[in-house]
Amino acid sequence: QVQLQESGPGLLKPSETLSLTCTVSGGSIRHYSYYWTWIRQTPGKGLEWIGYIYYSGNALYSPSLKSRVTMSIDVSASQFSLTLSSVTATDTALYYCARGVVTGTGYSLDYWGRGTPVTVSS
């Protein structure tokens, strides 16, 4: 059974850099069909797709966050990471990692982590 687990600091100050890691177990991170994805959720904005990274290291980010987001992947460790710079209170959210799967019928998120809360506050 594929499992994903987010980890990282839960409290940041404004202007700091958020760094989260997702550890994948029970399946290979190196698969041509999988796009390792970050999503966040807030009561106000709902679910927001942040972006994904492929095992090759190629990544695609949401345009609204692109200037502040970097994703990376460590295939040997079965981990992928999210970095979000210059955080503000609006980045306070529950951050999820998920496995995106691309088939002939499209892209969907079939396995999710439990989510990790991140609060930005001075």
**Could you say which of 1, 67, 76, 105 contacts another protein (CB under 8 A)?**
105
Q: Judged by CB under 8 A, which stretch of 10-18, 20-28, 85-93, 95-103 contacts another protein?
A: 95-103
Minimum separation from the CB atom of position 64 to another protein (A):
7
Q: Residue 3: enclosing H or E segment and its boundaries? A: strand 3-7
**Could you say which of 1, 32, 63, 122 contacts another protein (CB under 8 A)?**
63
User: Please, which residues have CB within 8 angstroms of residue 11's CB and are 6 or more apart in sequence?
Assistant: 118, 119, 120, 121
Q: Judged by CB under 8 A, which stretch of 7-15, 22-30, 41-49, 70-78 contacts another protein?
A: 41-49
Minimum separation from the CB atom of position 89 to another protein (A):
21
Q: Which residues pair with 42 in a beta bridge?
A: 46
Percent of the chain as helix, strand, coil, to the nearest 5 = 5, 55, 40
CA distances from 27 to 3, 4, 18, 79, 111 (A): 8, 10, 27, 12, 11
Which residues contact another protein (rule: CB under 8 A)? 46-49, 51, 60, 62-64, 96, 98, 103, 105-110, 112-115
